[in-house]
Amino acid sequence: MNRHGRLSGLCAVIAGLGLLTAVASPGLAGAPDEASFSLQNVYAGSTVPSGLLVQDTEEAEEEVISEETTVETYEGGMGWSLEGPYYLRSADPIEPGEMEFKLISGYSTASDGTDDDTGIEFAFEWGMMENVHMYIETGLELGDGSVEGNADIKALGFHTRFWKEDGWIPAVAMRNEMRIPTGYHSDGVDYEGRLLVTKSIVPDTLRAHFNPFLRLNNGDNELEEDEHEGFIYLGENDGERDPRHFLWGVAAGVDWRVADDLVLVADYVHRSSTHRGDRNQHIFEFGADWKLAENHMLAFGGEATLDADGNEPNFGMKIAYIFSINTFRLDGG
């Protein structure tokens, strides 16, 4: 082949390669690599494929919606303790680390109107740890200082919650307490065990309570101590009636959280009589807990007999001032 033939063949090959490159180049130009996309996204902002942009935006919106709609719920509602000078109690204890000091004054009258009694009481409660608080109560009857049992430690006990309310499962707790004979001519140590069951009817607003109890009464004081957080009735012990050493009963009622700082209480108490031969007693209670400020509360309690036969006060009422502080707790929480 001569020189001109070789040159013509080389030109034909170059032309063929150019044609092949022209045919393939549109597909290659439309598919930039991953690195080029990131650089273009940063500096140009206009070459990101619309499909990828829409997908990323939708995923971001879904994450925001998911975060906004994640809400922690508790089906049983929020629990709170009952503080006033009435017998009914919630299964929920006071807050861990909280200390409460109570000053209580009370008045009661016998069914026949011949014996009016006034008294003053002191109580201390401490939230030792989660689900447990201890309490101690004492009191004086004014005007009848020589009565047997006056100034006893009326209650030294522990409130223990086994579990909180959860859905259809109620909160359950136990109160175990002793009466210690520290008062005038007092003797014998009494024990009371009370089961506390609390269930929300309207979460955070209305609850029902069931408090059955058993009491071992070992003293023989003339002072008859009513079970209702110290309502005192002085009965005449003429030696002809034997005191019961085993007593039982139940309190059932509701509390209504009218506002964040006000709770109303109403309940019915049925219990065995203090002396053998007397019939069981039926009592209606009512009360209120009113939070005045962060650490200050006023509480009220009243009771009325449904029997009017002289076995318990015809009517009684109490008012309590409660001061609380936040201190340490044993579980280090």
> Per-residue pLDDT for the chain (333 aa), expressed as one digit of tens each?
444 455 455 445 455 545 444 444 444 444 444 444 443 443 344 444 555 444 555 555 555 444 444 433 334 456 899 999 999 999 999 999 999 999 999 998 876 556 678 899 999 999 999 999 999 999 998 876 567 778 899 999 999 999 999 999 999 999 999 999 988 888 889 999 999 999 999 999 999 999 999 999 886 554 444 444 444 333 444 445 678 889 999 999 999 999 999 999 999 999 998 878 888 989 999 999 999 999 999 999 999 988 866 666 788 999 999 999 999 999 887
What pLDDT shows up at residue 128? 96
What pLDDT shows up at residue 23? 43
- Stated pTM of the model: 0.72
Same domain, 36 and 102: no
Single out the residue in 52, 68, 84 at which a domain terminates.
Answer: 68
Distance (Å, whole) CA 85 – CA 265: 11
Q: What is the CA radius of gyration of the chain?
A: 39
Same domain, 219 and 320: yes
What pLDDT shows up at residue 104? 97
Amino acid at 36: S
pLDDT tens, residue by residue, 54-71: 455 555 555 544 444 443
Q: Indicate whether 82 belongs to any domain.
A: no
For Cα atoms 124, 197, 261, give the angle at the middle one, nearest 5 degrees: 55
What pLDDT shows up at residue 223? 41
Q: Which residue shows structure tokens 């001061």?
A: 323
- Please, how many CA atoms are within 13 Å of residue 58, restricted to the half-sphere of its CB? 6
What residues contact residue 21 under an 8 Å CB cut-off, 6+ apart? none
Same domain, 131 and 29: no
Distance (Å, whole) CA 236 – CA 144: 13
Return the H-helix or E-strand segment holding 68: helix 50-68
What pLDDT shows up at residue 307? 80
What pLDDT shows up at residue 251? 98
Residue span of the structural domain in which 176 resides: 98-326
Q: Indicate whether 110 belongs to any domain.
A: yes
Count of structural domains, the chain: 2
Same domain, 25 and 126: no
